[in-house]
Chain A
């Protein structure tokens, strides 16, 4: 195997890993504050990408063609819209079920995901067909031997990593982050310390959903195609990544995201005769990892009380 091919696999893996980590971060944030899994995360991501796409159509229609302005507009609309949707879901579907068994929350969000997916398929104009997402980033590329480094992937990876870094700063260095961590540790104590619990939960869901929308836009810009089913598989992968990393831990989610991308790339590279089996390989390793480390690679600290 020559250098160019390895570099290509590596670049692809880093891009996928960034994307998966961005999705997984949402799962782990939600689990942190509410101990719930919001399974509609992937479909909210898809909805966010469609909002961004609609914003682009709107900008085209009013005659703004500069790709950078378009990009900013698409990102603003998509992130803001998705953050609102995330907060709305938390407020009307997840908080009311706080006392119910965890399984019910998992199920209601799974159903919500189906509803969002179906709604986009049925009600978005021509929604059942894939849409061509515009290439808003420069498509120049640098040739290094047989390996072509595309400028757009570099920009995507750098901005994705920057977003993860910024999120880390928000969680660890700001008052909002302090409040989120406090609620994650102990809800009742956080309340007695004067933290507005509901507001913190809603803010967390807004942040997590916005980050996922960014991953969705990344996906669209990289593959230049979006469809109504893209959220399901991204959500599944993000969930698996958050779990193998260890729920409730930001670094676990990032580790899990890159690990899953690594597994897919290794699967594709090592099974050249059957690259279609790469997802089978990745999910099989996930199951094996769960058998080895039942609470993830970076486990949350917990003890059983009877």
Chain B
């Protein structure tokens, strides 16, 4: 609609359907994480597929997306609250909290990749290498006690950025497949380097010290009366905080002129340059910022799993990160969150299929690419006025 018309009579609480979706997703995640029998998991999966199909067919998804855009701040806060509630409810279960934290950190990593890839169109097939650089930084610095642990997270990001500096010249000068080979070569190089380097533990890897925050060691389980609480609760809460922070940054970036420049560079470099946008500067900024985010999430991941080895940061893991971005929809943060949950949870919950998981997973991605190439939740036009209702 191009003409400006007065808002028609809207339901008094337009965000209620989106809020219902958030709460339902929270309940669903709880059910999925608690389900132990294979038949329970399978029926939950079937339920999700059917519900999604019905929601797409009836236009419910589009309505929720519109409502979300209309009252974004409120709904994002609600989503965060539901996430925290979910973490607290599951506070007794090691496995569920580990899963939630892993999903959250992969989500953060996917946001970093999305800045490079969804916004600027820079392909990065070395995501796991930058993620791993953060984790290795945490391992090495964690043994030096003088550094405050919260700074280690930042250091992980800075180291990931620093090792990507030599790549800047080839990244800026190449495009398309030629850029892909630069990052692929770097990913292989990084992994081989870790494997043959004896200071960094070689193929056996390194131990990582746990996170300490204000004198509180994250390896200690918080105690509350005689409730049984897993020490992963610390990490889950910290990961949730990190995810919320990076998500807010991502949204701000998208709405800023920098995000606009990134989109312009992705859509047409020549045209963007004609309008006075520095293609080089935009690409460098996107590449470095994305790698900082990857490094920070990697550092926290390393502390959480407390043991890292080169085998966790291979080319296949980079592919996994890229698949999260593509499955979710390029540039779409919520799509990335759903895709991260699918990629992490599906193989872990279906132990029956554990052996076949990579096979099934690769076939799933192929099917999505063939039949829904725009991803699970395609990105919309940027919303400059997040809390205003548009009738379009």
Contact = CB atoms under 8 A, between A and B. Distances in A.
A284 to B, nearest CB: 6
A111 B362 contact: yes
Given A106-B177, A114-B316, A277-B196, A286 B362 contact: no
A154 interface: no
A280 B193 contact: yes
A35 B358 CA distance: 28
Given A232-B315, A287-B166, A280 B176 contact: no
A155 B322 CA distance: 42
Interface residues of B, number: 44
A97 B369 contact: yes
B156 to A, nearest CB: 22
B270 interface: yes
A108 interface: yes
Interface string B325-358: 0100000000000000000000000000001101
Interface stretch (B7-15, B86-94, B167-175, B225-233): B167-175
B359 interface: yes
Assign chain A's interface to a size class.
35 or more
B214 to A, nearest CB: 40
A279 B178 contact: no
A93 B188 contact: no
Nearest to B271: A306
Contacts of A96: 370
A286 B181 contact: yes
A259 B185 CA distance: 15
A219 interface: no
B365 A119 contact: no
B85 interface: no
Nearest to B359: A118
A214 to B, nearest CB: 24
A276 interface: yes
Interface of B: 123, 166-167, 169-170, 173-178, 180-182, 184-186, 188-189, 192-193, 195-196, 268, 270-271, 274, 315-316, 319, 322-323, 326, 355-356, 358-359, 362-363, 365-366, 369-370, 373
Given A97-B373, A115-B362, A118-B359, 18 more contacts: A93-B370, A102-B177, A107-B326, A108-B366, A111-B363, A114-B359, A114-B362, A118-B362, A122-B356, A122-B359, A243-B181, A274-B196, A276-B195, A280-B193, A283-B189, A290-B170, A291-B169, A294-B170
26 contacts: A97-B369, A101-B373, A104-B373, A107-B369, A111-B323, A111-B366, A114-B359, A115-B366, A122-B359, A232-B315, A239-B184, A240-B185, A243-B177, A244-B181, A276-B196, A279-B192, A283-B186, A283-B188, A286-B185, A287-B167, A287-B182, A291-B169, A291-B170, A294-B174, A295-B178, A306-B268
